[in-house]
């Protein structure tokens, strides 16, 4: 996969792209990631990238020329998904990450404080994404979130240790509680079943805890999930138990 990130603040990406899994993914050639400062494509001597909104009002608006010219400088940009990061975008989910991982080329547009001239949205962009219902100072942090969550899904990026398969949201449920040594810490013991060596019982316990946690924290995910008859019975049991606790 090939990723380009258009931003006025390329330095914001240095730490994240040079650390941990994203660094390794680039070293393994699973992905190439380049930042482009679209100020370099500004057309006047002051390198202006924004201007006052037509019709008046507060704030500045990102001009179309620097962003169009920066995108058009990228080889084969016509075949890329061109993704604008804004709070008005469609909500980003694991499902969208699974969709984007199949693409060969992603181009991210990050604005900072300002809005984009609507012609960028209408005539350049293929996707507009938001990472949640809160406002960031710019699209950079949001683009990093999307890049991180897509790159970890690329073949060969995660080892077995970090495997993408069993974690939250790929199963549609939240993760079950995990424990490691010591068996007892400040009187707090690890659940007996996990020490039993009884694999079927351990699997059942984990499934139950996973559903319990999801019911308590994210009932919306339970609504969306398809359960077989056995799990539906388990959900009923858990709901009854939770009612008795309260």
DSSP for 82-127, written as a single string: EEEEEEEEEEP-HHHHHHHTT-SEEEEEE-BSSEEPHHHHHHT-SE
- Told to check if 54 binds ligand 6GU by CB under 6 A, we report no
Shortest reach from residue 143's CB to ligand 6GU, in Å: 7
Active-site residue, 152 included: yes
- What part of residues 84-113 is at the interface with ligand 6GU (CB under 6 A)? 85-87, 89
- Annotated binding-site ranges: 111, 131-136
Give the contacts of 132 (CB within 8 A, at least 6 positions apart): 91, 92
From candidates 100, 107, 136, 211, binder to ligand 6GU by CB under 6 A: 136
- Told to check if 139 binds ligand 6GU by CB under 6 A, we report yes
Residue number with the smallest Cβ distance to ligand 6GU: 142
Bond from prior residue into 137 cis (ω within 30 degrees of 0): no
Helix/strand/coil percent split, the chain, to 5 = 40, 20, 40
Active-site residue, 87 included: yes
Q: Are 163 and 157 in contact (CB under 8 A)?
A: no
HSE-CB for 154 with a 13 A CA cutoff: 25
Shortest reach from residue 111's CB to ligand 6GU, in Å: 7
Q: Which of 114, 128, 148, 175 is catalytic?
A: 114
Active-site residue, 66 included: no
**Which one of the spans 15-23, 52-60, 130-138, 236-244 is the region binding ligand 6GU (CB under 6 A)?**
130-138
- Told to check if 138 binds ligand 6GU by CB under 6 A, we report yes
Measured at the CA of 135, the angle between CA 134 and CA 136, to 5 degrees, comes to 125
Instruction: Note the residues at the interface with ligand 6GU (CB under 6 A).
Output: 85-87, 89, 129-132, 134-136, 138-139, 142
Q: Which residues are catalytic?
A: 87, 114, 152, 167
């Amino acid at each position: 996969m090939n990723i380009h990130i258009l931003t006025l603040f390329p330095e914001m990406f240095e730490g994240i792209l040079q650390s941990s899994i994203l660094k390794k993914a680039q070293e393994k050639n699973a992905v190439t990631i380049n930042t482009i400062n679209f100020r370099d494509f500004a057309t006047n001597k002051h390198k202006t990238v924004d201007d006052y909104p037509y019709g008046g009002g507060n704030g500045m608006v990102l001009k179309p020329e620097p962003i169009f010219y920066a995108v058009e400088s990228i080889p084969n940009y016509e075949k890329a998904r061109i993704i604008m990061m804004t709070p008005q975008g469609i909500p980003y989910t694991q499902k969208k990450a699974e969709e984007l991982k199949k693409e060969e080329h992603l181009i991210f547009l990050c604005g900072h404080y300002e809005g984009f001239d609507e012609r960028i949205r209408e005539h350049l962009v293929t996707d507009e994404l938001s990472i949640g219902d809160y406002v960031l100072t710019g699209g950079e942090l949001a683009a990093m979130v999307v890049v991180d969550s897509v790159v970890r899904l690329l073949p060969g990026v995660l080892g077995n240790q970090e495997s993408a398969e069993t974690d939250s949201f790929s199963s549609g449920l939240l993760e079950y509680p995990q424990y490691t040594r010591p068996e007892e810490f400040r009187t707090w013991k690890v659940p007996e079943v996990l020490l039993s060596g009884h694999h079927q019982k351990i699997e059942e316990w984990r499934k139950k805890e996973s559903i319990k946690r999801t019911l308590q924290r994210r009932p919306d995910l339970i609504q969306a999930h398809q359960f077989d008859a056995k799990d539906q019975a388990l959900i009923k049991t858990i709901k009854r138990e939770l009612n008795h606790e309260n």
